[in-house]
Structure 1
Amino acid sequence: MSIKKQFLKTKPVVKVTFEVSAEAAEGAEQVFLMCEALNWEKTPLKKFKAGHFKAAVDLPTDEKSDYEYRFCLVMADGSEKYDNDWEAESYRPNGVNGDNSVVSVSA
């Protein structure tokens, strides 16, 4: 799994691209991103022929004091499996006996 960030000079957002490798997707038919900046709504990642998934989202840099957002990934193939980014910047408790991945959008 990987995260790439593009800091925009014209808007108070960071364009963050989330990519899940075919290996990490473990044969899932669909992969979704759930992020607190997106109200924990499932955002689908696009599946590519090589089996990896990718999506870019804009995360605000002016709505929070700490500029960190919790997120998790959902792998779906009939049932759903919640997973963290193996290479996340850090992790925070999710309140349900586990952790969420964290992405920082500060420069």
Structure 2
Amino acid sequence: MAIKKQYLKSKPVCKVTFTVPAEEAKKVAVVGDFNNWKANKASALTKQKNGNFKGTLELPKEGTFEFKYIIDGNYVNDDQADRYQWNDFAGSENAVLEL
């Protein structure tokens, strides 16, 4: 898994590209408190020819966001996250993205 951050000078946002190696998966989405944990068209990652799923979101600069991937219905943390944080509602740790 990989997370690439690109800070824009023209806008107060950061383009965050999420890459998930999941050759056998049918659907992968990234959900978090930035999209109310909703898997929808905007949060879906696109399958690449090499088997990775990839997608880019614009998120506000200087924010901290909890997130997970949904890979074929299973919630998975990113091993490249900035840190992890316990979430009582989920009953598990969530990956955290710090911008």
TM-score by length of 2: 0.89
The residue aligned with 1:4 is 4
The residue aligned with 2:83 is 90
Q: Does the alignment pair 1:101 with 2:98?
A: no
The residue aligned with 1:71 is 67
How many residues are treated as equivalent by the alignment?
Answer: 95
Shift in Å, 1:41: 1.7
Structure 1 runs, 4 residues or longer, greater than 6 Å off: none
TM-score by length of 1: 0.83
Query: Which structure 2 residue ranges, 5 or more long, are not aligned?
Result: none
After superposition, give the CA deviation of every residue in 1:35-65 in whole Å (9 maximum; x if it has no partner).
2112222110000121100000001126xxx
The SS at the match of 2:34 is helix
Query: Which structure 1 residue ranges, 5 or more long, are not aligned?
Result: none
Which residue identity is paired with 1:41? K
Which residue identity is paired with 2:15? K
Shift in Å, 1:26: 6.0
